[in-house]
Structure 1
Amino acid sequence: MRALHGLAILDTPPEERFDRITRLAKHLFRVEMALVSLVDKDRQWFKSRQGLSITQTCRTQSFCAYAIQGAGMLEVEDASQDARFKDNVSVTAPGGVRFYAGVPLSTSDGYYVGTLCIVDSQPRQLSDHERRSLLDLAACAEEEIKRAALEREIVSASKVRQRLTHQESQQRELVAALASLNEISASSQLALSQQLTAALELGCRYLDASIGIVSRIDNDIYEVVAAVSPDDKPIEKGNCLPLANTYCEMTLKSKGLLAIHHAGKGRARYHPCYVTFEIESYIGSVIQVSGEPFGTISFSSHACRDEAFPETDKTFVRLLTRWVGDALERERVEKLKSEFVATVSHELRTPLTSIAGALKLVVAGAVGPIEGQVHQMLTIALRNSDRLSMLINDLLDIEKLRVGLLKVASSSQSLSSLLKASIQENHSYALQCNVDLNLKLSNKDWQVCVDPIRFQQIMANLLSNAAKFSHAGDSVIVECEKHDNDIRVNVKDSGCGVPDRFKAVIFQQFSQANASDNRVKGGTGLGLTISKALTEQMGGSIGFSSKEGVGSIFYIQFPWLKEQDVENP
Structure 2
Amino acid sequence: MQAADTPHNEAQRLAALQALNVLDTPLEAAFDGITQLAREIFDVPIALVSLVDKDRQWFKSRQGIDACETERRVSFCAHAIAHNAPLVVEDTYNDLRFDDNDLVSDAPFIRFYAGHPLRPNGSLPVGTLCLIDRKPRSFSAREQKILQGLAQQVEELLRQRTMRDALTSTARRFEALFTKSATGKVRIDRAGNIIAVNPFALRLLGYSEDELIGKNVAILTPPDIAALHNDFIARYLAGGEPKVIGRGREVNAQHKDGRYIPVHLAINAITNDQEEVVEFLGILTDLSDMHAANQRINKEQGLLKVLHHGITDYQALMSGERLWTFLMEALRELTNSDYALIGEVLPTDKTNALKIHAITDLSWNDESRQLMERLRSGDMMLTNPNSLLGRVFAFGEVVMTNDVYTHTLRGGFPLGHPTLSNYLGVPIFSGEKLIGMYAIANSKQPLNQGLLDWLQPFTDTCALLINLYSQMAEREQVMHDLAAARDQAEKANRSKSEFLSSMSHELRTPLNAIIGFSQLLGKARRDPLSSKQQRQINQIEKSGQHLLSLINEVLDLARIEAGQMALSIEPMLIENVIDDACSTLEATMEAANITLIRTPLPATCRVIADYTRAKQVLLNLLSNAIKYNCKAGKITITVEQSSDSIRINITDTGFGIPPHRHHELFEPFNRLDAEYGAIEGTGIGLAITRQLIERMNGQVGVESELGSGATFWFTLPIADPSACNNARHMSGDTSFAINNQRAYTLLYIEDNPTNQRLMEDVLEEFEELQLVIASSAEIGLELMRQSPPDVVLMDIHLPGMNGFQALDIIQKDKQFRGIYIIALSANAMERDIKNGLAAGFDAYLTKPLDINRLASTLNKFIDLTLEEAP
What is the TM-score normalised by the length of structure 1?
A: 0.40
Larger Rg: 2
What is the TM-score normalised by the length of structure 2?
A: 0.28
Greater RCO structure (CA 8 Å; 6+ sep) = 1
